[in-house]
Amino acid sequence: MGPLSPLLHAWPALLAAGLLALLLAWLGRGRPWLAGMAAGLGALAGWWWLLGLPPASPRQLAERLPLLLAMLLTLTGIAAPLLRGRAGLGPALVLGGALLGGWWMAGAPRPLPDLWQALPAWLLGAALIALLARGLSPGRAPFAAAALLAGLLAGGLPGPQAAMVAILLVASLGACRAAAPPSALYALPLAGALGGLALLPILARGGALDWLAGVAALLVLRPWSAPRARP
């Protein structure tokens, strides 16, 4: 069946992710915070269906991702309603969430020597997440996920990451008709999921195709040319 075999076996998780994202995007009409997180919540449901409920050790690459997405969804869900009228705090929260995501994907180091050793991976992950959060919108997210999926399939790294990106793609398609949220903070969970998935093969193997997969998602979004009115 080739590289598409894991995707075919993941069809229940794909279906669950897409249907939940579609439902939440529909329920989120007039509720930007819910519509903005529909794709992330759908992807989280699909990931946990695919992987089960892992022990969440930050040393296991694929199992870092569901908890990363859950943490960023929680941060956004708590912070977004509190930021009404305080738009200036949004960029600081996005940067903080990106740094948290990079630290988590780098292995959640705590002792100073471990922090220093993990610093390149930490900063790379944080930069990916921050750039993706700047460029993402419900309409653009499927294109970024499709570009990342194509890169991961071309790289052929064993593991669940291709199926996880496919789940993210289906969830983002389910939520793509939602109105674009006014704040990059709403895009943070999905950016963390995409950035974490792009970083995973770079940390695991670091080949040219692994780097290209992450760059492809950024090239599709062009975050440097997508300013937001209220970040």
Query: For the chain, which residues make up each domain, given as ranges?
Result: 2-225
pLDDT in tens, 27-79: 877 777 787 888 999 999 999 888 876 555 555 677 889 999 999 999 988 88
Q: What predicted TM-score, i.e. pTM, was given to this entire model?
A: 0.87
Question: Is there a contact between 47 and 13 (Cβ–Cβ < 8 Å)?
Answer: yes
Torsion, CA 36, CA 39, CA 44, CA 50, rounded to 10? 180
Question: Which residue stretches of the chain have pLDDT < 50?
Answer: 1, 227, 229-231
Question: Is there a contact between 146 and 224 (Cβ–Cβ < 8 Å)?
Answer: no
